[in-house]
Amino acid sequence: MLISLIVPCYNEQEALPIFYREVRKVLAGMDISSEILFVDDGSRDETLRILKEIAAGDEAVTYISFSRNFGKEAAMYAGFCNAKGDYVAVMDADMQDPPSLLPEMLSMLQSGEYDSVATRRVTRKGEPKIRSWFARRFYQIINRISDADIVDGARDFRLMKKSMVDAIVKMGEYNRFSKGIFGWIGFQTYWLPYENVSRVAGETKWNFWKLLKYAIDGVINFSQVPLSVASWFGMFMTFVSFLAIALIVVRKLLFGDPVDGWASTICVITLIGGIQLFCMGIMGQYIAKTYMEVKQRPHYIVSESNRRELEKVK
């Protein structure tokens, strides 16, 4: 039996040595052989050099270095495509996904009842309040409008059986939103709660706007509801306009009351114009995603690796 750990790294020079030391310690105490797959996502610091050093001293370590920064989703996909293990886990390099949970997760999978053990933060300690608030709203909304089951506080850190990894690799979409993909493919998942851990070193790659974009991508990738909102909105506005027209005609006929008011006309025109643009924007978002899917560009391009048989472009 083999366990594969997939570790996406982007500018993690400070955290990597700490992570590697801890993970090796934990793996040594586990009764299973292991491989660690580091995916260097186009780092601009010393990450790649450190990875090469680690790989030179450890046969079980593979590094895959991208030609540029393709994003964590692409890095995880590269890991899934190249992992050989019967059990596969994704872990951040910053120690926010505690390696010490691995033995417990593995024994849970080996007991046979579950296909994957996923982790969920029960607290958001150490995170700005406003970010937590937006995160909660996001999970509420997406669970209402999407058919993928997305758990609040879920991390990407999870240990899976090979069958589940095969399913993920089959989901070859270009616009990847892993939290949705994990939920969509199904399988029996056990949710392991744990307290939030802060990053050991380095900085988070996320700011508010990136997170907002990530949230919108999540909605668009896993729900068609915004599209129907646009058409319902359109129908509602049409209905209101009919009422308004009837009202004005009746008023004119009964009271001879001419409708005056340049201001009100302009307001209505801009309102309708705004709504139309908004709805077109929603459609545009879906079309843009479709455009990227249709191009079938590779998810990532590998510039360097210590494993020769690896697919360089995928």
Binding test (CB under 5 A) with Mg ion, winner from 4, 11, 96, 119: 96
Rule CB under 5 A: say whether 12 interacts with Mg ion.
no
User: DSSP label at 99?
Assistant: G
Rounded to whole angstroms, how far apart are CA atoms 1 and 250? 81
Nearest approach, Cβ of residue 68 and ligand UDP (Å): 10
With contact defined as beta carbons under 8 Å apart, do 202 and 12 qualify?
yes
Which partner in Mg ion, ligand UDP, none is near 69 (CB below 5 to 8 A by kind)?
A: ligand UDP
Nearest approach, Cβ of residue 79 and Mg ion (Å): 16
Number of residues in the chain: 314
Q: Which is nearer to ligand UDP, 210 or 251 (CB)?
A: 210
Rounded to whole angstroms, how far apart are CA atoms 135 and 124? 10
Which partner in ligand UDP, Mg ion, none is near 41 (CB below 5 to 8 A by kind)?
A: ligand UDP
User: DSSP label at 308?
Assistant: T
Nearest approach, Cβ of residue 38 and ligand UDP (Å): 10
Q: Which is nearer to ligand UDP, 52 or 199 (CB)?
A: 199
Beta partners for residue 117, in sequence order: 159, 190
Which stretch of DSSP H or E encloses residue 6?
Answer: strand 2-9
Pairing of strands 116-121, 189-194: parallel
Rule CB under 5 A: say whether 73 interacts with Mg ion.
no
Nearest approach, Cβ of residue 51 and ligand UDP (Å): 12
Q: Which residues bind ligand UDP (CB under 6 A)?
A: 8-10, 12, 41, 69, 71-72, 75, 92-94, 96, 199, 204-206
Rule CB under 5 A: say whether 221 interacts with Mg ion.
no
Rounded to whole angstroms, how far apart are CA atoms 57 and 284? 50
With contact defined as beta carbons under 8 Å apart, do 158 and 135 qualify?
no
Q: Which is nearer to ligand UDP, 114 or 121 (CB)?
A: 121
Rounded to whole angstroms, how far apart are CA atoms 62 and 129? 38
Which partner in ligand UDP, Mg ion, none is near 75 (CB below 5 to 8 A by kind)?
A: ligand UDP
Nearest approach, Cβ of residue 74 and ligand UDP (Å): 8
Q: Which is nearer to ligand UDP, 87 or 157 (CB)?
A: 157
Rule CB under 5 A: say whether 82 interacts with Mg ion.
no
Rule CB under 5 A: say whether 94 interacts with Mg ion.
yes
Which partner in Mg ion, ligand UDP, none is near 220 (CB below 5 to 8 A by kind)?
A: none
Rounded to whole angstroms, how far apart are CA atoms 185 and 76? 16
Q: Which is nearer to Mg ion, 24 or 199 (CB)?
A: 199
Nearest approach, Cβ of residue 206 and ligand UDP (Å): 5
Only one of the segments 11-19, 63-71, 93-101, 277-285 lies at the binding site for Mg ion (rule: CB under 5 A); that segment is 93-101
Instruction: Kindly state the tokens that stand for 201.
Output: 């070193």
Which are the contacts of 208, defined by CB distance < 8 A and separation ≥ 6? 131
Q: What's the distance, CA 130 to chain centroid?
A: 20
Beta partners for residue 158, in sequence order: 90, 118
Q: Which is nearer to Mg ion, 92 or 115 (CB)?
A: 92
Rounded to whole angstroms, how far apart are CA atoms 189 and 148? 13
Chain residues that interact with Mg ion, rule: CB under 5 A: 92, 94, 96, 199
